Amino acid sequence: MNGIKDRNLYLVLSEECGRGRPATEIAGLAVSGGIDMLQMREKNKSGPELKKLGRELFKICSKSGVKFIVNDDPVLAKELKADGVHLGQEDLKKYSLEAARSLIGPDKIIGVSTHSLEQFNAANDSDADYIAFGPIFPTKTKDYFIGTENIGAVLMGAKKPVVFIGGIKLANIDGILQKGARNIALIRAITEADDIAAAAANFKSRLTGVN
């Protein structure tokens, strides 16, 4: 599974969700708090800005063994020597999984976003290394959410790690963990926290404390 493990805490990092703090500062604190994967998801930066930030985030992650993932762009992921790339449904119209794989190589990680059982089933039978499923709860990032009722069905049929995403907080995480979720991705619950390292550590503790 290209190094993807269970009980995985995945930070999707967007500087605009960081309350004015630099992405590198957020990343360093989150890594110290125990995240396992970090995705650079910057929708409003130029190509040169993305490359500069990507190189900095790669250094932060590689020092601690955190997987560094680039959102949307397998070409940039290859250039940055990232651990992998994450593709949304729209990205798959530009880069097929086969094209992304040929660009980044057989030993790199490819993740795919899914927002329905139909999309999940398609990704489950694909070359993707993990599948993100959500948004589970309401979130500012999306204008819809899909709820928790399909978590059991998704996990029952999963052939690869599933990362649940979307509006997950300490106040609601226990419900999805009880349904069997073992990997979660977060944005604002970490990036907007007063104490980023402590927030990451609290979520990691919830994940690792589940039997």
Residues 6 or more apart in contact with residue 102 via CB below 8 angstroms: none
Structure tokens at 116: 């329905």
Instruction: Say whether 169 is catalytic.
Output: no
- If DSSP codes are grouped into helix, strand and coil, which group holds residue 74? helix
Catalytic residue among 7, 142, 179, 206: 142
Quote the CA–CA distance of 59 and 133 in Å, as a whole number. Answer: 28
Instruction: Say whether 160 is catalytic.
Output: no
Catalytic residue among 108, 113, 126, 182: 113
Quote the CA–CA distance of 161 and 53 in Å, as a whole number. Answer: 28
CB atoms within 10 A of CB 87: 25
State CA 125 to chain mean position distance: 20
Instruction: Say whether 113 is catalytic.
Output: yes
**What positions carry a catalytic annotation?**
41, 113, 142
